A and B are shown apart, each in its own frame.
Chain A
Amino acid sequence: MTENDEKAIEYIDIEEIETVVEPRAGSIAVGKRFDTAPTSSAVPIYIVLPIVFLAVTTLGGMRLAADNSFIFLKPALICLVFAAVTLVLFFRSGLIAVDGWLSEGHTMLRNAANAAILITMFAATVQLFNSLLPEHGLPFWIVGFCFFWTLWNNLFANFDTQRLLRRLAALFGLAFVVKYLVLANLTAPEGTSWLQRMIENPGRETFTWLLDLPRYGPGTGYIQFFTLILYLIGLYLTPTSTKK
């Protein structure tokens, strides 16, 4: 190998290190973010993003029982459908450019790493819906229908990335309020017997029975709030493309 060849290889290596993150099209706020802190390193995408999405995946189905023991709820099938539609929305709105993440021009390793990140994003989205959808009963169907209606309408609407992010934040925020503030406050606390619970909290016990509400520990809402925020941070950190 000649000295020129070695220099050329070294030059290629250096060029590969630089992974420039393109700002999201149509997003003023995002544009500002990149102006103030230009991301020339791949670390935020390839290290931080998967960790954030995996954390959301772990916490999304986690609840605390009345005795503060863990409960891990597997997602309902509808959560996978909602997550798939949400990802389609991400692609349509330009939040994620498919050819910017998966391309023939990329190396195999880079495509594999990008695909792995997109898979963690899908898993996190599934678990976010698992977190925000009530577990069963009438609230499950009502909130599920609201999710379906909103996502279905968005599929055919014209909007940019910024508007999509705002809509999703509003949708998820509202669902969080419904489940962890409204419904949680209608749930009667755990008591020794049905009669005692009826005497102490007749209204809440009736709602708990009518709406089939699960009795979780108060820590559940805090965990899920943290999960929602983490997911939104993950979306905010996600670049449109990972092109060099």
Chain B
Amino acid sequence: MNSKYIQILTLVIVFAGSAFVVFLYWTEPRTIAEVSVKGQVVLGTYTINRAEFDQGLGNFHRDEFIAARAAFDRADPQKRDAIVQFYTAYSYYRQGWGRISNDDALFRAGVEAADRVTAIEPNFRIADDSLKMKTAYELRAELDEGLKITLSDFNPLRLTRERK
């Protein structure tokens, strides 16, 4: 082989190898499978697993929230899809909601998921008529309200309120 081609090959190897090293140390994948997923994120070809999302959506509408979140996690392992993260946050809200008191741990997890939605897509709006809260801001406000203890919490009329 001509030495010129060998030297060009050297440069290609070094640039490609350096890019791979930077990618690994930047994205810090934890498994071999994550290397491929993070690679898709970097290249902009990352998409959610539609079948898992549909399964999660079915679970969500049947009020099987733990199963729904497991499916959403499988559908969007990198937590980069606003729709999936919105449903995840909503599932935390619905599961944690209580007529007398809310589950603070679930509500806090819901706040984190809602924040992810606004970080991904600030003007996000869901097109699902079965949900009363359409934006991440409404959901975040509801979750925040549920985490606070105020005088209105002791109002007996609260027992008549409905889950959104």
Binding site for B on A (CB under 8 A): 13, 16-17, 19, 42-43, 46-47, 50-51, 54, 57-58, 61, 65, 69-72, 74, 109-110, 112-113, 116-117, 119-120, 123
Question: Pick the contact of B31 from A54, A69, A109, A123 — CB < 8 Å?
Answer: A69
Judged by a CB distance under 8 angstroms, whether B7 is at the interface is yes
Contacts of A46 in B (CB 8 A): 6-7, 9-10
Q: Shortest beta-carbon distance, B162 to chain A, in Å?
A: 42
Binary CB contact string for chain B from 90 to 131 against chain A (1 if under 8 A, 0 otherwise) = 000000000000000000000000000000000000000000
Question: Is B18 positioned at the interface, with any CB of A under 8 Å from its CB?
Answer: yes
Known: A50-B17, A54-B17. Contact between A19 and B10, CB under 8 A? Answer: no
User: Are B25 and A116 in contact, with the CB atoms below 8 A?
Assistant: no
Q: Which residue of A lies closest to B31 (CB)?
A: A69
7 A-B pairs with the lowest CB-CB distances in the bound complex, closest first: A54-B17, A113-B7, A69-B30, A116-B14, A113-B10, A46-B10, A46-B6
A contact residues around B2 at 8 Å (CB): 13, 16-17
Residue B43 lies at the interface, judged by CB distance under 8 Å to chain A: no
**Contact with A50, one of B8, B10, B24, B31 (Cβ below 8 angstroms):** B10
Measured CB to CB, the closest approach of chain A to B29, in angstroms, equals 6
Residues of A within 8 A of B159 (CB): none
Q: A61-B25, A69-B30, A70-B30 are in contact. Are A120 and B14 (CB under 8 A)?
A: yes
Interface residues of chain B: helix, strand, loop or mixed (majority)? helix
Question: Do A109 and B7 contact each other (CB < 8 Å), given the known contacts A70-B30, A70-B31, A74-B25?
Answer: yes
A contact residues around B17 at 8 Å (CB): 50-51, 54, 57-58, 120
Kindly provide the distance from the CB of B7 to the nearest chain A CB, expressed in whole angstroms.
4
Shortest A107–chain B CB gap in Å is 8
Complex alpha-carbon distance, A128 and B21, angstroms: 14
Which residues from A are CB-within-8-Å of B25? 61, 72, 74
Cβ-neighbour of B28 out of A47, A50, A72, A113 (below 8 A):
A72
Which residue from B6, B20, B29 sits with its C-beta under 8 Å from A47?
Answer: B6
> B124-142 vs A: 1/0 string, CB under 8 Å?
0000000000000000000
B4 within 8 A of partner (CB): yes
Residues of A within 8 A of B11 (CB): 112-113, 116
Residues of B contacting A74 with CB < 8 Å? 25
Of the candidates B10, B20, B28, B29, the one having the most CB atoms from chain A within 10 angstroms of its own CB is: B10
Q: Is the CB of A110 within 8 A of B31?
A: no
A57, B10: Cβ atoms under 8 Å? no
A-B contact sample (11 more), CB < 8 A, given A43-B6, A117-B10: A17-B2, A19-B3, A42-B7, A46-B6, A50-B10, A54-B18, A57-B21, A58-B24, A71-B28, A113-B10, A120-B14
